[in-house]
Structure 1
């Protein structure tokens, strides 16, 4: 049995808070978590929609039924199967997306990113190879990918305001895996990390979300 890979052109969607008009000064890229979809995730930011701020929700490349063989559908960014290819494909998709968005935003001044849960790991991998240098980088209920190069991670965030938003009732915070991944900040020598706690579990909290957007 011979195992090979094939490259081909494909299409994938993303969701925007509004159609770009060219007056936008800020861009937020928000990455959903495991089992979510881009459009439903973007709705959680609807109170923050503003003509001068474009919020864009990319969607994980892998979709599946959440229960059984029908009903609600979710997406994920990667699994352990074909992991390296999933990461490479996600980066290619996100690189094409940011290139397209920049062309539509001639007055863009700042780029921010937010990753929720599994989306935080995907976000961290992407910014480490994209040369993005974002203004705000928000890890919400999620941590950097465990396999990042510390020096590359540090240089990618050298001019960024780095924020971790953590729910005081989030069971994922107590897992050994999460604690180990949070050590990536220390390993990379990132000392400017701001940790903000909110009352609640594994979810976006509207009050803190607004605070972070307005920082």
Structure 2
């Protein structure tokens, strides 16, 4: 048996919300968790105080499926052909951001937000993609271990629920160490809750995002 790969074209999906006004405006790009959709991440972005001043962009993963409840969902990664999937995802995100910045009055500020599996995607897009970021916000997911040059993230907010069984305290602390070794001083939020965001998380994320208004 011989294994072959054929590159083809697939269609990605993303949602955009732009505030009233002529701009220019900052761009907040979000990446959802495993089995979620662009709508889920957009709702999360909406709940961050102050995000209404930003163009909110929610990018849906390229690998759709129907979950056990019969609802649509999508995944950023699979174990098979991992390096190919990473490269495809980064090119896809680069293309989406290029299209949005060409069509809307973006002022050059770009913050990426990733939840759960989307945290890894946000990290990869920031470090492997061609668009320079102002900051990266990570919730309930780790920075992929193979990534280097974390200083390119510039500023980081990293959050974890105290009872999160998927993103352990050990991995949370390891990510903080990696960021500090890269010369960054991450804003950390350890909030009461599990894997998903809470009001406490949103308040902290809002404070961090407000700081990015002056970058």
TM-score band, normalised by shorter chain: 0.7 to 0.9
Give unmatched runs, 5+ long, in structure 1: none
Q: Name 1:4's counterpart in structure 2.
A: 4
Q: Does 1:209 align with 2:205?
A: yes
Query: Would you say the 8 A contact 1:143–1:182 is kept in 2?
Result: no
Q: CA deviation digits over 1:112-140, x for unaligned, max 9?
A: 11111111111111211224331221111
SS at match of 1:172: coil
Of the three residues 179, 198, 205, the one matched with 1:185 is 179
Deviations 1:154-200 (A, max 9, x none): 3x22xx221111212222343766665555435x5233122122221
Number of residue-to-residue matches in the alignment: 206
Specify whether residues 77 and 55 from structure 1 end up closer, same or farther in structure 2 by C-alpha distance, changes over 3 A only: same
For the aligned residue pairs, the C-alpha RMSD in angstroms reads: 2.4
Question: Hey, what does 1:61 align to over in structure 2?
Answer: 62
TM-score by length of 1: 0.84
Unaligned stretches of 5+ in structure 2?
none
Is residue 72 of structure 2 the alignment partner of residue 78 of structure 1? no
Following the alignment from structure 2 to structure 1, what is the Cα–Cα distance between the partners of residues 55 and 77? 26
Using a 3 Å threshold, how does the CA distance of structure 1 residues 200 and 7 change in structure 2: closer, same or farther?
same
* Residue matched to 1:153: 150
Q: Distance in 2 between matches of 1:175 and 1:79?
A: 24
Contact 1:20 1:104 (C-alpha < 8 Å) held by counterparts: no
Q: Distance in 2 between matches of 1:117 and 1:11?
A: 23
- TM-score, normalization by structure 2: 0.84
CA contact (8 A) 1:173 1:179 kept: no
Say if 1:146 and 1:213 are closer, same or farther in 2 by CA, change over 3 A. Answer: same
Pairing 1:162–2:156 present? yes
Q: 2-side partners of 1:88 and 1:135: how far apart?
A: 22
- C-alpha change, 1:199 and 1:24, in structure 2 (3 Å) is farther
4+ runs deviating over 6 angstroms: none
